[in-house]
Amino acid sequence: VQQYSTVCNNAQLCSTVCNNVQLCSTVFNNVQQYSTLCNNVQQCSTVCNIVIEQIIVYYNGREKYCKKRNQQ
């Protein structure tokens, strides 16, 4: 939960994930909804709170990938 909260409160990281449609669709399984979401940081945080379980699963599985992407 702490890791999840960090992600949801980090606009930069949120934006990084939102700029990757493949990762996005993995989280939300809805590209249209995701595209709209990613254009609104506040909405991103709100959805993060709504789908907390999905977010936790997603970041637990993709943490290494996300770190690599952020380092590039």
- For residue 62, is it within any domain? yes
- For residue 33, is it within any domain? yes
Q: Considering the chain, what is the average pLDDT of its residues?
A: 55
Query: According to the model, what pLDDT value does residue 69 have?
Result: 56
Is 16's pLDDT higher than 60? yes
The 8-class DSSP code of residue 40 comes to -
Mean pLDDT within 17-39: 54
Query: According to the model, what pLDDT value does residue 31 have?
Result: 46
Query: According to the model, what pLDDT value does residue 22 have?
Result: 58
Q: The whole model's pTM is what? A: 0.26
- The parent domain of residue 9 ranges over 2-67
Distances (CA, A) of 70 to 8, 29, 45, 50: 16, 23, 19, 25
Q: pLDDT tens-digit profile of 54-67? A: 555 555 555 555 55
- Number of structural domains, the chain? 1
CA atoms within 13 A on the CB side of 46: 9
